[in-house]
């Protein structure tokens, strides 16, 4: 608060900045949180008698004094018994107050008035990889929102645009997010182009002198600023996770019976809708250029602009000669990819499951574009829709790249791009167990996504936050390797002694030399240093007839340099699944199936040190209309804790 923003006698090093709160993510979740942290307080208005809101909620609100601040109210009691499209009570409460009777189709005025209070300001910083808006600036312009404009506005605004009931293009929401920061005067709180790489415990050297003292920091947030080309470090008392839940697209599932010998099919593919749109543009341009070159077309004719997309539809050959785009998925993003491919006159092979629950829930009246794709999916192969072939209840079991022979000059810049290279895909029908082969140019895997929580430090004790040099998994592997090494010494000691025919002391000294105990190190093997590999070498490929066989079969034992086991978890899996933070701690965090476990009244993360909060899609609030409720819960809890600290 205002008193908390005063400086104290304790200082930090030049490369460290103290903030009371660090917000990770500059999308709608981070923007509305910053709006409230900047001193904007929600106050309750008088409730009209003819407003058809929940009767229990009306009774509770009427018991509050006029002009009551919601930050000083028992929000959990007000939200008791409310039902809606969110599983969190406070987002439901704020949605009922900001948009009363919205689910009934009514456009009523908000019951909340926002007032600026300088004493309620909390010093904070909002960190984001891109410009304000999160993922919205990256969406293709042709994509339209699922929610109407009235549900997309953030406090204190009532709606975006003049038509409250209309769906907006993604570019309109991105432009609104950019204007929002300036309109609410939040520029000084936002730092764009900043990638957070680590969130860990901050060292405590001495007790703090006041609430805003740097010694009060519980977390250290570090990262890299791409615009300035240097790293940054913040120490703070609290961290708010507002980074969304779509940064890590899901990959192809493994085929039936998959294992080490039969892993999941791997091939260059597009896993996000913006990447699919860009690839479709390149593929459409490539197809048009190739056909024009093949038929010696000297004058290029562009057909009428297809208004639903950002590029003109081009046609030079029949549909049978067009490139094929394989779309995997049965949700909204997959439907957008199918529509984009058909608009570019490219054939869409759609692998999906039946029934497509995500599209089935959308009203044909409000979503005619998705209703058309839904109908094509239900019609199946007998539907005979142009540029569309569905493959219901199929899965990809094998992907084989096809080597292309360059028979014509290189006419485009990205011809050898791996994503657009020809591939032979084998599909398995899960009903009939039959297979079908397809030749495709682009594979779009749109089967959902998960949050990217790689920056969270998960290798500390949740009780006292004592950092460890290695995670538990690697410590166990290190102990196992040490036990195997000791067993190797015990089992082979007498054998080595009898073979060498030397004394025990000489055998000990020679055992420390890896090259001597393995015989001749110059094996003449084609594979370099084969006798120094931890895995037994079985190759018999020799450079000359006089070469000896690989001696690493004698003792498959790594040298002393490789005995040191280091933590490789982040190298093999650069993205953290957020294990331990979800409602089910044993499963990865998922914005729909396994959100972050929070205290419903404060949005504080349960399976984490005190002071870590989460809101938005990370807590299963996947619609913008429910985000302000999480921000109110967090800010109200922060003010209560700061008030208790000052007292």
Q: Are residues 582 and 557 in the same domain?
A: no
Q: Are residues 126 and 17 in the same domain?
A: yes
Q: Are residues 288 and 376 in the same domain?
A: yes
Give the span between the Cα atoms of 159 and 624, in whole angstroms: 12
565 — pLDDT class (breaks 50, 70, 90):
very low
Other C-beta atoms within 10 Å of 270: how many?
A: 23
Q: Are residues 520 and 586 in the same domain?
A: no
519 — pLDDT class (breaks 50, 70, 90):
very low
Longest Cα pair distance anywhere in the chain, in angstroms? Answer: 102
**Pair 314, 302: CB distance under 8 Å:** yes
Helix residue spans in 10-134 (DSSP H): 28-37, 55-62, 75-78, 89-98
Give the CA distances from residue 629 to residues 76, 447, 548, in Å, rounded to whole numbers and listed in that order: 11, 29, 73
pTM metric for this prediction: 0.74
Residue where one domain finishes, among candidates 447, 480, 502: 447
CATH of residue 85: 3.50.50.60
575 — pLDDT class (breaks 50, 70, 90):
very low
Other C-beta atoms within 10 Å of 478: how many?
A: 16
Closest among 496, 613, 474 to 557, alpha carbons compared: 496
**Would 408 be classed as within a structural domain?**
yes
Q: What is the mean pLDDT of the chain?
A: 76
Place of tokens 């996770």: 241
Of 99-108, 403-412, 594-603, the range with the lowest mean pLDDT is 403-412
Other C-beta atoms within 10 Å of 379: how many?
A: 14
Helix residue spans in 344-446 (DSSP H): 357-360, 368-379
Q: Are residues 223 and 316 in the same domain?
A: no
Residue where one domain finishes, among candidates 520, 535, 562: 562
Q: Which domain holds residue 140?
A: 3-246+577-646
- The 10s digit of each residue's pLDDT in 268-308 is 888 888 889 988 888 888 776 665 555 444 434 343 434 44
Q: Are residues 10 and 134 in the same domain?
A: yes
Q: Are residues 558 and 626 in the same domain?
A: no
Long-range contacts at 275-279 (CB < 8 A, ≥ 24 apart): 276/337, 276/340, 276/442, 276/444, 276/446, 277/140, 277/142, 277/340, 279/419, 279/420, 279/442, 279/444
**Would 266 be classed as within a structural domain?**
no
Closest among 46, 341, 391, 31 to 179, alpha carbons compared: 31
Q: What angle do CA 431, 432, 433 make, to 5 degrees?
A: 95
Q: Quote the tokens at residue 168.
A: 């907006």
Q: Are residues 538 and 425 in the same domain?
A: no
317 — pLDDT class (breaks 50, 70, 90):
very low
Closest among 332, 274, 250 to 139, alpha carbons compared: 274
DSSP state of 611: T
Beta bridge partners of 69: 43
**Would 261 be classed as within a structural domain?**
no
**Would 597 be classed as within a structural domain?**
yes
Q: Are residues 550 and 581 in the same domain?
A: no
Q: Quick check: 164 pLDDT over 50?
A: yes
Q: What is the pLDDT of residue 371?
A: 93
Q: Are residues 443 and 520 in the same domain?
A: no
Q: In three state form, how does the secondary structure of 430-472 look?
A: CCCCCEEEEEECEEEECCCEECCCCCECCCECCCCCCECCCCH
**Would 313 be classed as within a structural domain?**
yes
How far from chain centre, in Å, is Cα 266? Answer: 20
Of 113-122, 159-168, 189-198, 546-555, the range with the lowest mean pLDDT is 546-555
254 — pLDDT class (breaks 50, 70, 90):
low
Q: Are residues 154 and 189 in the same domain?
A: yes
Q: What is the pLDDT of residue 609?
A: 87
Of 109-123, 256-270, 293-307, 473-487, the range with the lowest mean pLDDT is 293-307
Q: What is the pLDDT of residue 284?
A: 83
Place of tokens 């167990």: 433
Q: Quick check: 319 pLDDT over 70?
A: no
Closest among 226, 189, 225 to 31, alpha carbons compared: 189
Q: Quick check: 564 pLDDT over 50?
A: no
**Would 518 be classed as within a structural domain?**
yes
**Mean pLDDT confidence for 118-125:** 92
Beta bridge partners of 41: 115
**Would 570 be classed as within a structural domain?**
no
Q: Are residues 558 and 583 in the same domain?
A: no
H-helix or E-strand spanning residue 636: helix 627-646
Q: What is the pLDDT of residue 547?
A: 41
**Would 127 be classed as within a structural domain?**
yes
Length of the chain: 647
Q: Quick check: 221 pLDDT over 60?
A: yes
**Mean pLDDT confidence for 496-513:** 54
Give the span between the Cα atoms of 452 and 588, in whole angstroms: 11
Domain count, the chain: 3
Give the span between the Cα atoms of 225 and 345, in whole angstroms: 41
Q: Quote the tokens at residue 646.
A: 């000052």
- The 10s digit of each residue's pLDDT in 521-532 is 444 454 455 555
Local structure of 84: helix, strand or coil = coil
Q: What is the pLDDT of residue 503?
A: 58
């Amino acid at each position: 608060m205002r008193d908390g923003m005063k400086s104290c006698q304790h200082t930090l090093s030049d490369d460290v900045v103290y903030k009371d709160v660090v917000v990770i993510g500059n999308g709608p979740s981070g923007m509305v949180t910053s709006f409230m942290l900047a001193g904007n307080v929600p106050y309750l208005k008088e409730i009209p008698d003819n407003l058809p809101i929940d009767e229990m909620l009306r009774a509770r609100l009427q018991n509050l004094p006029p002009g009551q601040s919601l930050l000083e109210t028992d929000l959990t009691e007000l939200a008791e018994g409310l039902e809606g499209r969110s599983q969190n009570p406070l987002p439901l409460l704020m949605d009922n107050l900001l948009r009363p009777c919205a689910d009934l189709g009514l456009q009523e005025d908000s019951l909340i008035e926002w007032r600026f209070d300088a004493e309620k300001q909390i010093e904070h910083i909002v960190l984001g990889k891109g410009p304000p808006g999160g993922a919205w600036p990256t969406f293709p312009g042709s994509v339209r929102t699922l929610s109407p404009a009235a549900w997309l506005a953030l406090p204190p605004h009532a709606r975006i645009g003049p038509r409250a009931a209309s769906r907006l293009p993604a570019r309109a929401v991105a432009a609104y997010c950019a204007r929002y920061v300036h309109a609410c005067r939040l520029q000084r709180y936002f730092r764009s182009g900043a990638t957070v790489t680590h969130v860990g415990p901050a060292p405590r050297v001495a007790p703090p002198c006041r609430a805003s003292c740097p010694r009060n920091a519980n977390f250290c947030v570090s990262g890299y600023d791409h615009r300035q080309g240097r790293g940054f470090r913040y120490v703070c008392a609290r961290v708010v996770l507002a980074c969304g839940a779509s940064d890590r697209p899901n990959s192809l599932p493994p085929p039936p019976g998959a294992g080490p010998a039969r892993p999941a099919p791997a091939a260059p593919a597009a896993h996000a809708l913006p990447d699919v749109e860009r690839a479709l543009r390149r593929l459409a341009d490539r197809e048009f250029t190739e056909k024009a070159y093949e038929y010696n077309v000297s004058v290029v004719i562009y057909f009428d602009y297809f208004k639903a997309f950002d590029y003109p539809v081009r046609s030079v050959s029949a549909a049978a000669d067009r490139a094929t785009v394989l779309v995997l998925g049965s949700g909204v993003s997959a439907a957008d990819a199918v529509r984009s491919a058909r608009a570019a006159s490219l054939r869409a092979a759609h692998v999906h499951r039946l029934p497509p629950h995500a599209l089935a829930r959308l009203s044909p009246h409000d979503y005619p574009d998705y209703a058309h794709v839904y109908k094509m999916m239900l019609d199946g192969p007998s539907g005979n829709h142009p540029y569309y072939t569905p493959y219901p209840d199929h899965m990809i079991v094998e992907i084989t790249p096809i080597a292309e022979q360059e028979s014509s000059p290189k006419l485009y810049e990205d011809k050898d791009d791996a994503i657009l290279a020809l591939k032979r895909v084998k599909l398995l029908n899960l009903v009939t167990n039959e297979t079908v082969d397809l030749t495709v140019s682009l594979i779009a895997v749109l089967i959902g996504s998960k949050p990217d929580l790689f920056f969270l430090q998960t290798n500390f004790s949740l009780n006292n936050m004592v950092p460890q040099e290695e995670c538990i998994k690697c410590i166990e592997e290190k102990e196992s390797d040490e036990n195997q090494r000791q067993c190797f010494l015990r089992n082979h000691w007498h054998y080595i002694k009898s073979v060498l025919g030397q004394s025990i002391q000489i055998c000990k000294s020679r055992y420390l030399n890896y090259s001597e105990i393995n015989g001749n190190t110059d094996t003449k093997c084609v594979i370099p240093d084969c006798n120094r590999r931890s895995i037994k070498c079985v190759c018999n490929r020799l450079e000359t007839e006089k070469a000896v066989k690989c001696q690493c079969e004698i003792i498959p034992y790594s040298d002393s340099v490789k005995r040191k086991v280091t933590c490789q978890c982040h190298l093999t899996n650069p993205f953290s699944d957020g294990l331990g933070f979800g409602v089910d701690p044993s499963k990865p965090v998922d914005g729909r199936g396994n959100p972050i476990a929070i205290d419903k009244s404060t949005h504080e993360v349960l399976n984490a040190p005190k002071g870590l909060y989460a809101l938005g899609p990370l807590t299963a609030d996947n619609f913008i209309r429910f985000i302000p409720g999480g921000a109110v819960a967090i800010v109200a809890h922060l003010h209560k804790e700061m008030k208790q600290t000052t007292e």
